[in-house]
Every structure is written in C-alpha cells, then in structure tokens.
Amino acid sequence: MVAVDPIRLADYKPWPFALPEIALDVDLRSDQVVVTSDLSLEPLSTNVPLILRGVELTLDGLAVDGEPLDPSTWIQEGDRLTVTGLPDRPFVLTTRCSIDPFNNTSLEGLYTSGGMLTTQCEAEGFRRITFHPDRPDVLSRWRVRIEADRHRYPVLLSNGNAVQSLELGSDRHAVLWEDPFPKPSYLFALVAGDLREIRDSFTTTSGRTVALRLHVEAGDEPFTAHAMESLKRSMQWDECTYNLEYDLDEYNIVAVRHFNMGAMENKSLNIFNSKLVLADAETATDGELERIESVIAHEYFHNWSGNRITCRDWFQLSLKEGLTVFRDQNFTADLHSAAVKRIDDVAMLRNTQFREDAGPTAHPVKPSEYQAIDNFYTTTIYEKGAELIRMLHTLLGSKRFMRGMATYVSRFDGTAATTEDFVQAIADGACANGETLGFDLEQFKRWYHQAGTPQLTVERSWEARSGRLTLHLRQQTPPTPEQPVKQPLVLPIAMALIGSTGRQGEERLLVFDQEEQVIEIGAVPGPQPPALSILRRFSAPVTLQMDMTLEETLQLLAADDDPFSRWEAGQRLSRQVLLARAAAEPDATVESALIHALRQSLVDMDVQQGSELAVLLSLPGMAELEACQEPVDPLALFDAMQSWRSVLGCELKSELHDLLEQCRSQWSQPWPKGQGARSLTGVAWSWLLAAGDAQTPAEALNAVSGPSMTLARAALRALQRHAGPEREEALRVFYDRWKDKPVILDAWFGLEASTPRSDGLKRVKDLLEHPRFDPLAPNALRAVLGGFMANVPLFHAIDGSGYTFIAEQIVDVDQRNPVTASRMVKVFSRWRSYALERQLVMQEAIQLLDVPALSSNTREVVVMLKA
Ligand SMILES: [Zn+2]
C-alpha cells in the first residue's frame, strides 16, 4: 500500500514565481502530439528552485531564453521537474514535450472522444499536457497556436478569441488563439475535430456583439436549439440580476460523449457532456431540459464566479462552486417556479448531502486537508456551499447581499481569492452605508470549517390565559470524522404562525447563534395555539426536531402560505406512514389523515398548478428515509413505498382518473408549459399501476412510442415495478426506437439495470457485454452501475451478491477511471447503519476493494470507510 502525504490548507505558500504570459504551440500529429511551451517567468525571491508538474510527458527539450539547459541544472523525478541555477531576472523557459492522447483513457489532460481531441484540466489535468506549476493561483495571459491535419481536424478551438488562421500546405493548417484575461491552467481548453457548428449571437447591454457557437458531431445539429436558447437566457439573466456582462468576442460550447462530469467552464470554451447539450422534447424529458438549461447557465455564470475571480487553492473550491450553484438555483427559480425549485433542491440536499454528512466521508465545505482533490467535488462543496451563500442572502436581504456581491467583484476581479475574502467582501459591501451586519461574521465563518448537519430542536410553551408563546431553541451538530466537538453556528430561522385561514401576522427572521436560547414570540391569543411554521423556505440547512401534533401538521399542509412549508408538512406525514409500514406497524390514523389531505389537494389544485401539485404528492427519497431508521432496512423501506403507492392508487382512484383526464389535454404543450401535467401523469400512473388498475398498463405502454420523452420515461419508470407483460414490452419498444442514439440509449441501460427482476444480476452482467454498451463512455457506465445501485432488491440482496458485484466493478473501473470509481465506493459509506447481518456481507464486499493496484483516489475513500 502506498501512503500519500495529504495536502494541507495550513501549508499554503504563494508560488515563488510570477508567470504573466504563456505561449503554447500544440502540434497534432497522426501518432502523437508535440507541445512546445514558453513560460515567461519572473522570480519573486532569489535562489529558489523552479518546480513544475508533469504526468506522462516525454521531455524532448528544455531551454532558458533559447539556450538549452545544462543537464546538471535540472532533474525529473516522478511528476516533478526541478530546475536550479536560474537567472534572478525575468526569463523565458521553453519546454518541448510529446504526449500520446490517443492512448490516454484517464479522461484528463488531452484525450480522444469519438474521433475528436478534447481536454479536461480541472483540477490537475494540465500537467498531462505540458510542464507547468498547475495550481490555480498562478494566472497568465495565454497565446495558443494549434496545428493539425486540415481534413482530420478541420475545427481547432482554444480559449479567448481566434486571431489568425493559416493554411500551411500539405494539408496542414493552424489557428492562433489569444485570451486577454489572466487565467489558471485548469481553465485551459483545446478541442480539435470534425465538428458541425451552429452559430448565433448575443448583444450585451453595453453593445458588444458576441458570437455564440455550439460544436457537435455531424447529425446532432437538430438537437442544439434548446442549449443555444438557454445560453442566451443565462447571459441576459446575469446582466439583469448581477450586472455582469460577457467579456470576449466569442463563446464556444462543445458537446463531447466521453466526459466524466456534467460540463466544464473553461474560459470561453465550455466542454459539455453531450447529454447536457443535445435535446429536444422528443429526445429529452422535461427534467432533462430544465437541467440542461441550468447547467448551461452554471457554466456560463462561472465566467465571473470562477474564471474572472478564481480560487487561490483547491481548498477554496466552494468559492466558485457554492456561489455558482447558488446563482444557477436562482436563475431556474426566476425562470420557472421558485417554490418547486426550492423544494427540489432541498429534497436533493437531504438525500445526498445530509447522507454524506452522516457518514465516514463527511467533510467541511472548506476541508483542511486532502489526498486526491478529485474526491472533493462533492455535494458538500457544491450544494451545502450554496446553502451558506443562501443564508448570507437571507440574513442580509437581497439588496444588501447584491451590494456585497458588487464589492466582491470589484475587489477581486482578475485575482485568485479565498472564501474568507468572499465573506468579508459581502459583509463590507452590505455595510457600506454604515449599517450593522446583524450577526457575528466570525461565527458565521464556522459554517465553512465545521462538518455535519446541525440538529435544531424547537420546544414550545404557550400559556392559554395570556396567549404568551415562548420558543426554546437548541442546536447541536453531531461529531464527524476528526471533528468530535462542535460549536454553535449562526442559524437564520424564518418563522410565522399559521391559523386555520392562513398566516397570522408577519413572517419573522430569528437569528439563533447560541447553543440554547429562549425566544418570546409575544401574545397569541385564541382557544389553542396557532401552528408554528418554522424554517420557512428551508432557511438553514439543518434537521429539525419538533413535536408537532397531527392536527397542527394538517393545518400547515392546508393553510401555510409558504409552499415549502406546506410540502414539508406533507413529507413529515409521508415519512411517518412509510417508516411505520417498514416496521410492519401501519399507522391507520396518520394514513387516513394523509389520504384525506392529498384528496383535498387533488380537488383544490388543478393541472394549471401541476408542478406544485406534483411535488406535494411526491414521496420522500430512500436516503432520507434511511436517515430516520435504525438499523436501516432497505428492503422493508422499498416494500413500504410500493405498498403505500398501492394504497394511494386504490383510495384515490377516481380522483387520479379525473386528474389524468385533465392532464391528457396538456400533454402536447411544449416545455416548460406542459411540464406540470406530465409530472402529475407520472405520479398517477405509478400509483394506479401499483394498485393494479386495469386501464393504466396499456396507456403507459402506449406512451413509450408516443411523441413525448417525458411521458415515455414516466411510463417506463411506473411499469418497472409492474409484473405484467407490458413491462418487458415497453423496454423492448424503447430500445428498438432509440438504439442508434447513445445519449438516449443510456436511459434504457439505466432502466434495465434498475428493474427489480429475479434474474436481475445476470441481466446487469449481460448489459456490460451488450454490443451497444461502450465501457469507455462514463455516461453508459454510470447508467448501468448507477441503475443497479438504485435497484434496492438486487443491490441489497441479503446474500451479498449485489455488494460483491459492485465491489468487483469498482476495482475494474478504477483501472481506467479512478474519478468514477472513487465516487462509486461511497455507496458503501453507510455500512455501519445497517443490521449486523447486512453489515457483515457489506464488509466482505469492502474487503474486496483492498487490492494493491487501487488508485490513490479510490484508496482514500476506502480508507475513510474503514476508519
Ligand atoms: Zn461549477
């Protein structure tokens, strides 16, 4: 086993050189790529050695100011090139390397995807292209010349503006790119290939015309309109909301099939996973269209939050990601339904980030050390990071927060900053007119360093005679690895009182920053206390413990004016029902009350409020339920969900058929209009199918060959747990229809792998051998293995066969894609929360991961699991 020294935040030192300019010459040849780099270096102190990073590079030449270097002055060891005896004045270091992108399966640096060459440099991929410090606080202006065969690589792209194109004879050509904005190496990008271009333009508020270009493979041109419109909406939104304009003459987006992540914000040359570019209503679901819109926006917003102001080091990752997620969440909320967006985001946070916080890989938004930074592209850095910024926004109010953002941008534009810089700038901007902050800024910063989900406990006392209502608040954050003791945090708590006819009085914002606090709410006269609506809009990312009567919960569900709190009340009851069913003790009182409330919602709300109604009807996620159960019994929870759907389908049968009738007339409405009706259809189908309704199987099967991908996929999902012949028929129809479109076929792979069949494990193994399965495409791999891990009865089979299979797959995937493998390991992270019998078989599977050849990425996670 190889021990890797961790990188520590406390060890940060600025790089001892400035690197204001880089000239890169990339010569693409048929069998290799020759990269010549001129680094303009300025020593910032005397006599320090120059240390550059390089991985899998063949060094062919090294010179200073054009003079080849004496071999005694430099040494190449591992991934380090150390040069000594350098001049004490500015100089140019030239390196000439050859690399082999054609056999690079790491999906980092320069590699091939479907005949094109493309890059991925975040976080540390640039060192696979040439020698460079490869750290985010070294910012340079770049000139990049790309030379290649004219026929094989007619399109040559890099960052910035194209300033020159050259025909070189003998079928060679070259393009020169210049990026005037200083940027670190992780934002470098290069694409070469035979791509089709779709062109549009956008005029900024100040009158600059920006050429917008999407580059896709031949045949994919018809599926680009949605991405292009999304880009224009993003540009406009950032101008209107943050007063931030785009800064170059062109903006390029390239769709790549072999891509490990969603998308990458390389300056002016975004590289996207094809599934997040190519879409229309026939080929993508409503959810996918919305996700594409938000990811296009996310990467675009990075132009300011990430590119113009970048991270000083990788410990600051949330500086760009938390802020940019916060920005893209607000973009989607502004364009669509703010309530539904908030509910979706909270459900996601609870099912992923809270789960991470409760396990062995829990870490703060700003970690203090890491071995592989790739392991820290987590939901904690992204989604919890966004929640911290949302809390600042809540505490300060929109106007003051925006002033803070303006201060942040003007103070740090063109530099690499820290999260402390950000928080301080927000506070300074917010208080620019002499206002006080209203909370303790130093205490707020604890949110960045303290891992774990705080538990907020609320107890109430109400004096019937005076109507005096008092809240007793307590907060406590459970211990996490290496953080046994926690301190109290600043919690913004939005609250209101809800009577039978709605909100009574104004909403209040409590700032709770002690371990314990008693807060007088004042006199609330009446025959009984009003219902307490607390943590409205989920004003702080905490778990709430509060005794609430069934009547009170139903009152919130019926009358709260905050849609989030209404949804939360429904979820509270659904959790109670499902956990009781999983324990084989169904709670008839809560069940009938919830059925009554849901029936009322189905009657009161109509298909015009489809998206709001659909989230109200949605059941809590598995991970969220597991967090409430001890020991966790995944099979019992799975069965509880299915039996409850069946009860809902029986009890609400006539209301659901009425609803379907309304929905059908909206099915053909294009996104986003018909989205609500289609979501409701999916819910109705899944409940009616579970209840054995006679008409639904045929209607669902029919939708699989219909014009809407949303309905087709909703039908396939609903049919997944249906034992009749329609399930297999639906999967066959879908496969036959889309077998030539890999982006869509991935959905079929995922559905096949997640269908709970008795011979499911064998079927999943067959999928990995399927002629249309591309093991080098991360999307396909994630579809099959991710689908299987979500297949509760198979993955959690008590004989351990599912765990063993996934462990073997992780070892295999790790050999070519450590980033994906290390993420998969996290599926075992909660092994301690299961019953002993299950713990033992899970441990056996984890044991299989202990192989000497494991990558350091994956090993780091395995070690955390065992700790
Ligand atoms: Zn991002």
pLDDT per residue as tens digits for the range 296-322: 999 999 999 999 999 999 999 999 999
Can 651 be counted among the known catalytic residues? no
The dihedral through the CA atoms of 645, 646, 651, 655 has a sign that is: positive
CA distances from 833 to 324, 483, 838 (A): 33, 20, 9
CA distances from 261 to 134, 403, 692 (A): 20, 33, 40
Look at residue 317 in the predicted model and tell me its pLDDT.
98
- Write b or e for each residue in 156-177: b if 16 or more Cβ atoms lie within 10 A of its Cβ, otherwise e: bbbbbebeeeeeeeeebbbbbb
Catalytic residue among 299, 356, 624, 651: 299
CA gap 685, 656 in Å, rounded = 9
CA gap 404, 59 in Å, rounded = 47
Looking only at the bridges linking them, the beta strands covering 310-311 and 369-370 are unpaired
Distance 300 CA to ligand 1 centre (A): 9
- Round to the nearest angstrom and report the end-to-end CA distance of the chain: 16
Q: In this structure, which amino acid lies at residue 502?
A: G
CA gap 777, 419 in Å, rounded = 35
What residues does the ion ligand 1 have nearby, CB within 5 Å? 321, 324
pLDDT per residue as tens digits for the range 162-221: 999 999 999 999 999 999 999 999 999 999 999 999 999 999 999 999 999 999 999 999
Distance 661 CA to ligand 1 centre (A): 41
Distance 469 CA to ligand 1 centre (A): 44
Tell me: cis bond preceding 631? Omega within 30 of 0 counts: yes
The dihedral through the CA atoms of 121, 318, 866, 839 has a sign that is: negative
CA gap 314, 376 in Å, rounded = 9
**DSSP conformation letters of 724-746:** SHHHHHHHHHHHHHHTT-HHHHH
Distance 295 CA to ligand 1 centre (A): 8
CA gap 42, 59 in Å, rounded = 23
Distance 253 CA to ligand 1 centre (A): 15
DSSP state of 454: P
In contact, 105 and 820? CB cutoff 8 Å: no
On the 0-12 / 13-18 / 19+ scale of CB atoms within 10 A, 504 is: middle
Look at residue 1 in the predicted model and tell me its pLDDT.
39
CA 76 to chain CA centroid, nearest Å: 37
Q: In this structure, which amino acid lies at residue 245?
A: E
Residue closest to 542 by CA, chosen among 554, 530, 534: 534
Going by C-beta distance under 8 Å and a sequence separation of 6 or more, which residues neighbour residue 325?
A: 298, 382, 383, 385, 386
pTM for this entry: 0.97
Residue closest to 171 by CA, chosen among 195, 146, 149, 156: 149
Structural tokens at position 188: 């470098």
Tell me: cis bond preceding 218? Omega within 30 of 0 counts: no
CB atoms within 10 A of CB 153: 22
Distance 305 CA to ligand 1 centre (A): 9
Distance 585 CA to ligand 1 centre (A): 45
In contact, 298 and 263? CB cutoff 8 Å: yes
DSSP state of 371: S
CB atoms within 10 A of CB 792: 19
**DSSP conformation letters of 624-661:** HHHTT-SSB-HHHHHHHHHHHHHHHHHHTHHHHHHHHH
Look at residue 2 in the predicted model and tell me its pLDDT.
46
Low-confidence ranges of the chain (pLDDT < 50): 1-2
Distance 321 CA to ligand 1 centre (A): 5
At residue 585, the 3 state secondary structure works out as coil
Q: What residue ranges in 257-296 does DSSP mark as E strands?
A: 263-264, 269-273
